[in-house]
Amino acid sequence: MKNIVVVGSQWGDEGKGKIVDWLSDQADIVVRFQGGHNAGHTLVIDGKIFKLRLLPSGIVRKEKISILGNGVVIDPWALLDEIKDIKKQGVEVTPDNFMISESASLILPFHREMDEIREDAAGKGKIGTTRRGIGPCYEDKVGRRSIRVMDLRSESNLDARLENVLLHHNAIRKGLKKKVYKKKDLKEDLLKIAPKILIFAQPVWLKLDEYKKKKKKILFEGAQGILLDVDHGTYPFVTSSNTVPAMAATGTGCGPNTINYVLGITKAYTTRVGSGPFPTELKDEIGESLGLKGKEFGTVTARKRRCGWFDGVLVRQTIKVAGITGIALTKLDVLDELKEIKMCIQYELNGKKMDYLPASSEEQFNVKPIYRTFPGWQTSTQGVRNMEELPEKAKIYIHALEDFIGAKISSISTSPEREDTILIEDPFNA
């Protein structure tokens, strides 16, 4: 029996939702440990589509407990809307199956506005933020001025905390000639929803310790991908939190010894949303076809994703940074019709070959991919559920990918349907 962390090994959108849902059958607890409602997970269960933004993927499964850890930033209004929407689909969300860390920071209206103001002012230098206030909220958290879930319990404490955070934000807003926020109005709005949020508030670190003692299986669900990590990603074109598996311990309040297996979700090609370097990006018909067949549009934003060949150099790098144990390879079927398939195995920068992505943003934009080419299998792999049924050329590509990145492939996904998965190694019993 093991506790598993599921993370994206690329720039996000690797298909974590399906894999987490698939694993949650065995898990007792599913925990989100970072990010906010900028993450989108699409689940397809018995033909029914669930689109989640903040709620952990385990919420759609009966008798599972879903948790938002202290590392998550929560827009309370967006959360309540999401709970309302998913209840309409017949999913129960109660204090018995869902809890929020009392230490989690809240995204407030001025965070969303600041996100928009900065992005609009950045011009060509824009990061590609989802404009949901995630970054400004994390800034307040680090600046020790954020409003946390626990602050909603006391009107006098909330008053003092709002005084502190508005002193900072209103000064900036005055300088930008934007309207300032009135503490009274904001406090009233927060107190109005406080009871609806506080019914889910718990000391998550303590609850997780109890579950560990009871030998419960815990599944830690990451948002975004490792290449968007604020320390290890393509900075500054990154998210505002640590997306690496180590954050599962920090973002929930359990020790690193809680983590037994790290599963890296890896798309059989590469995609990216928003701005930033992308060495293997395809701006041609192949890139367009990958996007169309793979339905590469954001779950939350509906933004079109940029598409390119599989970047083995980057995935090998994230495997080392993240300590990934096994790989869940997704969207293999999207490559079915291609005559040839390429995989990046090295970069060239200023005439020199490189085996890793440099840290400098300028150099990241200028690296040129060096490819290894494989013949396409040009036959359908959609819905295949065992390795023997895969075309021989697909097996060659898969084994070459596995050898290059230096991590075993534990499963292969051949459609959005949960059951269309080739299981090679069960992470819970590996």
Q: Long-range contact list for 243-249, CB < 8 A, 24+ apart?
A: 243/7, 243/8, 243/34, 243/35, 244/7, 244/321, 244/322, 245/5, 245/7, 245/220, 245/322, 245/323, 245/324, 246/322, 246/323, 247/33, 247/34, 247/71, 247/222, 248/5, 248/31, 248/33, 248/220, 248/222
Nearest CA-CA partner of 315 in 242, 223, 227: 227
Whose tokens are 């996904």? That residue is 413
Q: How far apart are CA 297 and CA 315, in angstroms?
A: 22
287 membership: H or E segment, kind and range:
helix 285-293
- 399 a catalytic residue: no
In total, the chain counts a number of residues equal to 430
CB atoms within 10 A of CB 285: 8
∠ Cα 36 38 41 (to 5°): 95
Residue 333 near residue 415 (C-beta atoms within 8 A): yes
DSSP 355-371: SS--S-HHHHHH-EEEE
Nearest CA-CA partner of 181 in 76, 105, 107, 111: 111
Whose tokens are 């399906």? That residue is 18
- 403 a catalytic residue: no
Q: How far apart are CA 412 and CA 300, in angstroms?
A: 25
Exactly one of 37, 41, 111, 232 is catalytic; which is it?
A: 41
Token digits of residue 196: 């609806």
Whose tokens are 């033909």? That residue is 47
**DSSP symbol at 276:** S
Supply the residues annotated as catalytic: 13, 41
